[in-house]
Amino acid sequence: MRPDAPLVSSEPVVVPTPEGRFEVIGWQLPGGPGNAVAEHLSLTAPSPGRVPVGRPPLVRLHSECLTGDVFGSFRCDCGPQLHLALRRIAEDGGTLLYLRNHEGRGIGLVNKLRAYKLQDGGADTVEANELLGLPADARDYSAAAAILHRLGLSRIRLLSNNPAKAERLADLGIDVVAMVPNEVPARPENHDYLVTKRDRMRHRLRHVDDTTAPRPGAPEPADRTGGTAHSTFDRTFDSTLDNDLDSTGDLTP
């Protein structure tokens, strides 16, 4: 997206959900495939009175995932992450941006299915994209940064396990003062995928091997700490909303 691209917003409407009530705004801007108009959503919940005055708001950038968010696919953790983030924002106040055109980390829905086929043949999620001649992560966060600036959210706590998101937002003028983990329980169907995100993509996933057993024949994890830290964002996790594993196997804030 060009820095001077026009950003058009809808009037805010209240949308009740199982996680809480959110003020939803639709955003339109050029930059989709073929320069089509891309559409995104912001879902905002007010901060409760118990939140300290001046505390930066909680923000989640959620990349569109049709298979996980809509159909509940177990191949990824996107759907559970979405619902956990909405619940946390409803409780603590903040904003979730639902970013379209991010399907399959930006490679598109059909290519994501092609990548799944390669994963079924033994490739991991990074290798599958590369075998298709595509980047491991093709997402563009300039639209997200533009929306955050328009909302007046230039200083935030980022609800994410991915330091790369914080780095890209910082490059786009967003001050990420802390990262808050948004880890959900792994499943046998997505264990290898999450291990790859942890070991090859720097995601801070500390409970992957605590919440499920890997599928039979899966390799032993190379690193329980999330791989080598490449920036300060690899280590800036907020402790006030950290995840703990309870006796039922659920991750609760």
Q: How many CA atoms lie within 13 A of 20 on its CB side?
A: 23
Helix/strand/coil for 176: strand
| Residue 231 marked as a ligand binder | no
| Residue 62 marked as a ligand binder | yes
| Residue 121 marked as a ligand binder | no
Active site residue 137: yes
| Residue 78 marked as a ligand binder | yes
DSSP state of 25: E
Write down the catalytic residue from 88, 139, 198, 206.
Answer: 139
H or E stretch at 120: helix 109-120
Write down the catalytic residue from 69, 124, 137, 192.
Answer: 137
Helix/strand/coil for 174: coil
Active site residue 198: no
| Residue 165 marked as a ligand binder | yes
Instruction: List the structure tokens of 245.
Output: 């594993």
| Residue 103 marked as a ligand binder | yes
| Residue 241 marked as a ligand binder | no
User: CA nearest 101: which of 198, 190, 30, 11?
Assistant: 30
Write out the binding residues for GTP.
60-64, 81, 103-105, 125, 160, 165
Instruction: Give catalytic residues, as residue numbers.
Output: 137, 139
Write out the binding residues.
60-65, 76, 78, 81, 103-105, 125, 160, 165
Write out the binding residues for Zn(2+).
65, 76, 78
